Structures are given as C-alpha cells and as structure tokens.
Structure 1
Amino acid sequence: MNTETKSRVPVALTIAGSDSGGGAGIQADLRTFAFHCVHGTSAITCVTAQNTLGVSRVDAIPPEAVAAQIQAVVEDIGVEAAKTGMLLNQEIIATVAQQVEALEIKNLVVDPVMVSRTGAQLIDDDAIKTLRQQLIPLAVMITPNKYEAQILSGLQINSLDDMRAAAQVIHRNLKAKAVLVKGGGMQGNIRGVDILFDGQHLETLTTKQVDTKNTHGTGCTLSAAIASNLAKGQDLLQAVTQAKQYVTTALTYSLNIGQGQGPVGHFFPLLLEFPNSLRT
C-alpha cells in the first residue's frame, strides 16, 4: 500500500542573480527561504563572478530563459510569494513584469537593486524607467535603500522625516501597495531604522544596531525573509517586523570569511550549536 501523503508546503520564488561568493543573490535568498521552512524556487537573471572583495564579471541570462524558468516553476509547483533582486537590464525587467502579470503571481516583493548602499548606480536609466513603470506597480511591497528611495521619490533623504516623506511619495506615484524605506545607509542613531508605509499607516521599525563589517547580502536577505513570511500567510507588518529581526540576528552572527566584506549568518542556529564555526 502506498502510504505517501502530500502536505502543502509554502513555496517562494526568487528572481535574482547568482552570487558565486554565496553571500547575496539567489544563494542568500534560498538560505533564507529554508530557514523559514519555505520551499525555495529560483529564476536566475544573471551570473556574477564575485567574492567578498567585489564583482569582477556579470553575464546576463537571455530574457527568454528567465521567462521559461518562472513559467516552469509557477505552472507546476505554484508559489505563494515571490521576490526580485538584481534584474540587470531593461529587457529582463520587462520580461519579469510580463510573467508576473500573465501568471498572476501574488505577494511580489521588489528589492529594486538600483543603487548600492554606498551610492553606486547598478543599472542604467532605461532599466530604472522600466522598473518604475512596469514592475513596481505589480508589487505588494518594495524595499528601496536610501539612495534608491531618493531616485524613486525625487527627494533628498537625510532624516527620518525625509524617509517618511519619500515612502509616501513613492507609494502615491508608483502604486506599490506598501513601501519599506530602509535605513541601513543612514548615519548616527537612525542607521538601520526603517520606515513602512502601506497607504494608511506609517510605521517606524527599529532593532538594535550591530557593529560588523560583514553585511553582504542584507538587502537580499530582508526581502527574501519578507517574501517567506508572506508565503506563510502573515500580514505585511508582521512579515516585515519578523524579517527585520531575522536579519538583525543574522548580522549578529555574520561570517568573517574572505578578505573583504563577509556575509550575514543565515544559518545562525548552527553557529550557536557549533561555537568553533567562523563568525564575528
């Protein structure tokens, strides 16, 4: 007699680039999904050659191949939530937006990945325009950092009030259901303070500051954790609050590997169990 039974496990999809150093991109996303007991699926948009010192090469995946990956996952397995990371160029962004709409993918979290935390622009102006016009309006939440929020809102951001104003402008102009302006790039006692606006309520979200140089992958990890929690049926505020706490703990146990900026410790329970593991 066949005793196999099927139970529905929440499924999340990451649409992002591959980080050969394992700290960000789909590698970080899949670790985050696994931590949250969500089955992780992926559509790779680009392949990077990178390590803790930086990125030395980026190769785009053909848009048709990106679309095929998304379609294969959704049509067979189905997804309760999805997130986007590095989409690299205008063609891939347009393709992802078309697939999200055609396949009716819900609970889409868009990490814009337009500008790094240090202010370096990562995609060109045409790609940013397509992101604004085609993908962001499909999102249940977008998670811009300070510099991305400045571009999307047209405002300068130097204070919490500036972050609040930017979140409201982005929500009004770009039609995402909720906006989380991240404060990781802010200075002083508001570093790491995030502002969440859902069209009605402004929330100021704080956790303890963690003093570590090993912060690679924090943005990817946060958006993946939010998507994980949404896949499990949590509301937006709960999903973001718990995701933020997860990232803070992962930063506390970040990995001191390589010669540069190491990644956060996605699997920190194992680091606690095995105290001789590499960590800061």
Structure 2
Amino acid sequence: MINDYPQVLSIAGFDSDGSAGMPADLHTFFAHKVYGMGILTAAVAGNSYQIEDATMMPLSFIAQQFDTLAKDFDIRASKTGMLSSKEMIKVVVEKYQEVNFGPLVVDPVIVTKHGNKLIDDDAIDFFKENLIPLAEVITPNYFEARTLTNLELKNDKEIHQAAKYLHELGAKNVIIKGKHHKEDGPEQVRDLVSLENGDIFWLEHDYLDTNRINGTGDTLAAAITSHLALGDTVKEAITKSVNFTHDAIAHEIQVGHQYGPINHWAAMDRLN
C-alpha cells in the first residue's frame, strides 16, 4: 500500500563532512530501517577540524518544504536539529502545527558539548516558549539543560529540578544527557530520563575516551524518532536509542583527522 512503509523526518542543517546534522540523522534512520526525509534549514562547510562557513536557508524555502512533503507523504515522527534564529524557529513552529508529521523529538542544538552557545538569547527564549511545548521528547545535553533551565546541574537534585522545569515548559518526556568529559579518570556517563507518566530513571554507560563523537546528539534524537515511528513506547525508544548511540561511539571509525564521526554501521549490526 502507498505510504505503508514507516517514514520519518529530520528538520536540520546539513554538515558537508557527513558527521553531524541531517547526515547523521539519515544514517540513523537507515540503520533503523525507516525511510528518512529532510527539511533543510542550513548548509555547513565543515570537516573534522572545523566549520569554515555556513549558509542559512531562506525562511520561505523552509516553509515550502513543509508544504511539499505534506502533500505526498505519511510521516510518522519527526525531529528538529539546528535552528539558527528566532525567525527560523518561528517558521518551524508554525508549519509543524499546520501539518501532521507525527510526534516531535526536539534536539535543542543551542549549546555545543563543550559549552559554546550557538544561538542568541532572544532565540533561546523563543525556543523555550514556542518549540518546547511541541516536544514529545526533548534531548538536551548537559550544557543545553543548564542554558534552558538556568540551573548549574551540580548534583542529581538539580538535574531532577531541570527535568521538572522542562516538563513545566511543555515537554512531555525529557532525557538530560550526562557530561561526556574525562575529568578525574574513567567515569560513568549518566543520563536522566523523566517521562510524562511520572516514571524517572537513570541510564548509565561507561565513559568512552575518544574524539570520534561528532553527531552523537543527532544520532540519539534520530534513533528515538525512528523507534517512535516503529511503534515503540517512549521509554522503549529512549532506552534503545541510548544503547544504539553508545554502541556507535564504542566502535571507532577512522574518517577524518581530528573530531570524527561515530560508527552507525557497528551500532546497526548490534541493532539487528
């Protein structure tokens, strides 16, 4: 039957080196055997050393992509990635409310895993007020959660408070990803999951000392999107996706000279 195959959507920028953004999403969709589509928000000229240039898509073009896909496809779940301005977030929010593209996984690409802010405060405020309420699942990293909640996240109590605050902003389900930094020797990476039904738990994995970590956040959110489209519960989707992402980090792939991509192939083998 037409549109019977599970279809998912990435609303994100395209990194030219294939390690992050929409390419990482599409790699992840492929690994989960769902058909991935994309609404392009930006194009980035980057390699494993650095990002050298970026171009934002016209807002009218972003809106047109929504309209064009909605005419033809049955998209079961979607995710957002890099949205670089208040105006771009506004277009995505408005268009997403017009169409039926399934539950939305919000990957708040506002602060890097090293703590560098990617968009201005005005856009972050608009993001909190307008995009987070649409989130079936929100997946901030440690620094993004700090920025969104204005909490230091120095201990488990504050991380729980941050999850509660994100629920209060409108997110149904929350995963706050733990710090992936080697500080005082090997450590456990702990992610807090707080679900709409009140279930709260930690997911833990060994810290992996590698610089092949580009696209980890994209991959996690895309994997959750895939599992939701395949009919898994949110708890199942998050748990399976954390395991998938950890497997992709654990098996290094030697692409590029410095900060390379994670290995979706190895994770796909474990998935199957």
TM > 0.5 between the two? yes
The worse-fitting range, judged by mean Cα deviation, of 206-215 and 27-36 is: 206-215
- In 2 relative to 1, CA 148–82 (structure 1 residues): closer, same or farther, beyond 3 Å? same
| Structure 2 equivalent of residue 277 of structure 1 | none
Deviations 1:231-256 (A, max 9, x none): 11111110000001110111112322
Partner amino acid, structure 1, of 2:264: H
Which residue among 220, 237, 252 is the counterpart of 1:254? 252
- Corresponding residue of 1:266: 264
Moved more, 66-75 or 112-121: 66-75
State the alpha-carbon separation in 2 of the partners of residues 90 and 115 from structure 1.
15
| 2:167 is aligned with 1:171 | yes
Among candidates 194, 200, 204, match of residue 197 of structure 1: 194
Instruction: Give ranges in structure 2 of 5+ residues lacking alignment.
Output: none
Counterpart CA distance in 2 for 1:257 and 1:205 is 29
SS in 1 for 2:206: coil
8 Å CA contact retained: 2:195, 2:235: no
Q: Which runs of structure 2 are paired with 1:4-153 in the superposition (5 Å)? A: 6=2, 8-153=4-149
Q: Do the aligned partners of 1:36 and 1:225 also contact (CA within 8 Å) in 2?
A: yes
Paired residue total:
267
Which of these residues, 234, 237, 246, is aligned with residue 232 of structure 2?
Answer: 234
- Quickly say closer, same or farther: Cα 1:162–1:256, change in 2 above 3 A: farther
Q: Structure 1: which amino acid aligns with 2:175?
A: L
Shift of 1:211: 2.5
Q: Aligned to 2:247, what secondary structure does the other structure show?
A: helix
User: 1:7 Cα deviation (Å)?
Assistant: 6.8
- CA deviation string 1:208-234 (max 9, x = no partner): 332221101000000000000001111
Structure 1: stretches of 5+ with no match in the other structure: 273-280
* 2-structure distance, mates of 1:141, 1:133: 16
* One-letter code aligned to 1:266: H
Cα gap change, 1:119/1:99 in structure 2, threshold over 3 Å: closer, same or farther?
Answer: same
Using the TM superposition, name which of 208-217 and 223-232 deviates more.
208-217
- Over the residues paired in the alignment, what is the CA RMSD in angstroms? 1.9
What residue identity is the alignment partner of 1:38? V
Normalising by structure 2, we get a TM-score of 0.93
User: Structure 1-normalised TM-score?
Assistant: 0.90
Output one character per residue of 1:73-100: Cα deviation in whole Å (capped at 9) or x when no partner: 2331121000000011111110000011
CA distance in 1, matches of 2:85, 2:219: 22
8 Å contact kept, 1:118–1:185: no
